[in-house]
Chains A and B, each alone.
Chain A
Amino acid sequence: MLYSIETKSLTKSFGDVTAVNDISFSVENGEIFGFLGPNGAGKSTTIMILTTLLKPTSGKALISGFDVLTNAKQVRQNIGYVQQETTVDEYLTGRENLLLQAKLNHIPKNEINKRIDEILDLIELTEKQNESVVTYSGGMRKRLDIAGGLLHRPKVLFLDEPTVGLDIQTRRKIWEYIKKIHDEFEMTIFLTTHYMEEADQLCDRIGIIDDGKIQIIDTPENMKNAMGNEVISIILEGENRDSFLSQIQKIEFVNKINEDGSKLTLFASNGTEVIPKIFQISSELDIKITSISLTQPTLDDVFISYTGHEIRDDDSRFNRKREHAKMTRLRA
């Protein structure tokens, strides 16, 4: 079967820093595939390889069967790319921006106006089309940017962090547009994000990437189910932590335990029966539990269980060397 996106042992190094490390995955036609990971995990590097902006150090990447290295031109004819930063031209009007995009992507002359009208209608910017983009809000600019990426009806649309920096209402609105365009044009969408909710809302399948490696690929549902249907979070004080850990590991129904400082996260399939047992063990070992809670698993929990840390901007495992290499690459 021909995949929309296929990578085989894809690797990209900058000096002695490996940003993308031997990743292999495939995305089916018409799928919305989410690439989820913290800042610096390798998401943008992967997208830049898939869109022919960076050459892989080793491995292979195919878009609709075309190799990004040897058939770059065909790849470019088949993709739309919406970058993380909004790249619409402030000096031009909304319509002029789309016109530029149409010409860059060789849309036939007699089609251009029809397509632009159509897309303006879809993103609800018809009324503002002849105003300079300077007067647009952040959400409107992003919508225009996304519209530009799909004007030529690419087979694969890349969205790099499509809602980063937008407020929550705007973010939800953008999700609606993404779903709408996906239904309308039946294109494959590859998106990166570090918002769990976004991945959960939009994606058919999710790949979690951390430290340049794919940790898991599955549907959001399966990921949550695999965790067990309940999450118990415990904050505790006291010595004897190791024996506490080893004892609660033996409790029936406990699938997995994550440790993060004084906080323990347990994934269990029958939480209400597990909690009393935890208290029993803690009193035996003279460990004080300062708080305990029982919740449904979210993708956040899935993420933590696969990467061992939370997804957040001020990553405590901030890798100075990697960041330095990245900044050198960006700024040089």
Chain B
Amino acid sequence: MNTLMYDTYTIFWRELKRYKKSRSGVLIRLIQPAIWIIVIGNTFSGTQPLIQSVGFQGEYIEFMAPGVIILTAIFTSIFGGVNTLWDRRYGFMNKALTSPISRSAIALGKMSAISLIAALQASLILGIALAIGVTFPNPIMIAPIMAIVILFSLGFSGISVMVAATAKSQETFWGVINFLGMPLFMLSPALFPLELLPDWLAAIAKLNPVTYTVLLVREMMTGISEGGIPIFLSLGIIFAFVLVMVGLASYVFTREVNKPF
């Protein structure tokens, strides 16, 4: 167990080192969510009455800012596994595979690094949101919000690592990831309340772990509860999602990297 943690930390350390050295990447990855929050946030500001009609007292941009924070977390983490493909192509993977560390430690180290990076990116978007006037009734909530974002991103990094370990090419990886990422984001109350969705879409959205994360983070940020879903149910669903994804990802990763690339 101790060895597993030590090995996981080794991989985690390496991934973070690489992230730190790629500063330009940090900024480039912020452009898209910044556009979302600035452009969509203002374009749709006219929908405020609609949102108020289902009980959200506040500006549209305050409604969607938590959604964009989750968007950042989703995309940073679901793209994060791509370097698994580079590692396999350029030999780092073989180096790790011929050392005494376990295969699951490689997967776990990658996932934990990706989720921390995703949370860092998300916190930068939170900063942008605050800068353009989104208010925050209870600043102490930042810590638990970040904890939720890290946890949630861990689940999505699991999806990413799993797809990257299974895909043998960049093309397959990006194809699958784009197929998964956008619908998971859109089928959630990130941009519009569940109550305004047609019944069948709302039903699908309720199967989506993103929904519960958005609702939870929005409640923590604005103090307004919506959708009638208790906090503990949301938390429970997020935990279950993360546990399943991390377990599944370690299993799939171990199985796939043992096959020749």
A81→B17 contact, CB < 8 A? no
Cβ of A132: which chain B residues have Cβ within 8 Å of it? 21
Instruction: Report the interface size for chain A: residues with CB under 8 A from the other chain.
Output: 30
B56-100 CB mask vs A (1 if < 8 Å, else 0) is: 000000000000000000000000000000000011101111111
**Nearest CB of B to A11, in Å:** 15
From 55 to 98 in chain A, residues with beta carbon under 8 angstroms from any chain B beta carbon are 73, 76-77, 79, 81, 83, 85-87, 89, 91-92, 96
Indicate which residue in B17, B91, B100, B169 contacts A96 across the interface (CB closer than 8 Å): B17
A53 to B261 CA separation, bound complex (whole angstroms)? 10
Cβ of B95: which chain A residues have Cβ within 8 Å of it? 81, 83, 87, 101, 104, 148
From 127 to 172 in chain B, residues with beta carbon under 8 angstroms from any chain A beta carbon are 168-169
A100→B18 contact, CB < 8 A? no
A91→B17 contact, CB < 8 A? yes
**Nearest CB of A to B17, in Å:** 6
B10→A103 contact, CB < 8 A? yes
**Nearest CB of B to A312, in Å:** 25
Cβ of A105: which chain B residues have Cβ within 8 Å of it? 99-100
Is B22 interfacial (CB 8 A cutoff)?
yes
Indicate which residue in B7, B22, B96, B168 contacts A331 across the interface (CB closer than 8 Å): B168
B99→A54 contact, CB < 8 A? no
A91→B21 contact, CB < 8 A? yes
Query: Which residue in chain B gives the minimum CB-CB distance to A82?
Result: B95
Is A241 interfacial (CB 8 A cutoff)?
no
Cβ of A103: which chain B residues have Cβ within 8 Å of it? 6, 10, 13
Most chain B CB within 10 A, of A54, A79, A103, A104, is at: A104
Query: Which residue in chain A gives the minimum CB-CB distance to B106?
Result: A104
**Nearest CB of A to B110, in Å:** 14
Is A51 interfacial (CB 8 A cutoff)?
yes
Is B4 interfacial (CB 8 A cutoff)?
no
Given A89-B14, A91-B18, residue A83 in contact with residue B94 (CB < 8 A) = yes
From 307 to 329 in chain A, residues with beta carbon under 8 angstroms from any chain B beta carbon are 329
A85→B100 contact, CB < 8 A? no
From 229 to 261 in chain B, residues with beta carbon under 8 angstroms from any chain A beta carbon are 260-261
A76 to B94 CA separation, bound complex (whole angstroms)? 12
Is B202 interfacial (CB 8 A cutoff)?
no
Query: Which residue in chain A gives the minimum CB-CB distance to B105?
Result: A104
Is B101 interfacial (CB 8 A cutoff)?
yes
A312 to B260 CA separation, bound complex (whole angstroms)? 26
Indicate which residue in A48, A76, A89 contacts B18 across the interface (CB closer than 8 Å): A89
* 18 residue pairs bridging A and B, Cβ less than 8 Å apart: A53-B94, A79-B98, A81-B94, A81-B95, A86-B91, A87-B90, A87-B91, A87-B92, A91-B17, A92-B14, A92-B18, A103-B10, A103-B13, A104-B7, A104-B10, A106-B6, A132-B21, A329-B261
Chain B interface (Cβ < 8 Å from any Cβ of A): 3, 6-7, 10, 13-14, 17-18, 21-22, 90-92, 94-101, 168-169, 260-261
